[in-house]
Amino acid sequence: MIESLIFGLVVFAVICLWVLIEQRKSPKFLIWFIPLFLVLVTSTYITYTSILGHPKEGVPKKGLYLKHHIDEPNWIYLWVLSKDNIPMGYKIVYSREVHNSLLGVQGKAEEGKFMILGDDEVVAGDLDGEEDGEESRGGFTVGGDISFYEWDYFAAMPPKD
């Protein structure tokens, strides 16, 4: 699969260069061909990296925390299970605050608790990792961008009869 994609990209590049050489004296052609070629190359790069499974840069909106990996000076890689049970990888810029918050989330997850990304009304006032009694669900904020809360599935799910 990947070999055929690489072969296709090489063939596409050769054809585009050949067309550029043949049409170099036509300014009208060059005015529309060069920007079109740059857009195609950029979109191909973005598509190719997503096909290879590279993590997305950015902050996930919602999901279930699975794991994270910290590449200390540069990045934090975060794996989240999305709504459709599809694991997604995200790449977040490293900071000590995010690092410490994710260690707290990892500790809760290792205790067997489900850590959910997203907004939670109960956790809104409790985003520093401290638990305030029985009502709290154990919230964490990761760098102010991501809010984690502990999902109590016994309270959230209807009882079985």
Task: Kindly report, residue by residue over 108-157, the tens digit of the pLDDT.
Answer: 889 888 888 876 544 433 434 444 333 445 566 655 567 777 877 777 67
The pTM (predicted TM-score) of the whole model is 0.61
Rounded to whole angstroms, how far apart are CA atoms 125 and 24?
A: 64
Rounded to whole angstroms, how far apart are CA atoms 53 and 88?
A: 9
* In the block, residue with structure tokens 């529309």: 32
Domain segments of the chain as ranges: 2-51, 57-156
Reference 133, options 142, 120, 123, 119; nearest CA is 123
Task: Kindly report, residue by residue over 50-96, the tens digit of the pLDDT.
Answer: 787 788 888 888 888 899 999 988 999 999 998 888 888 899 888 88
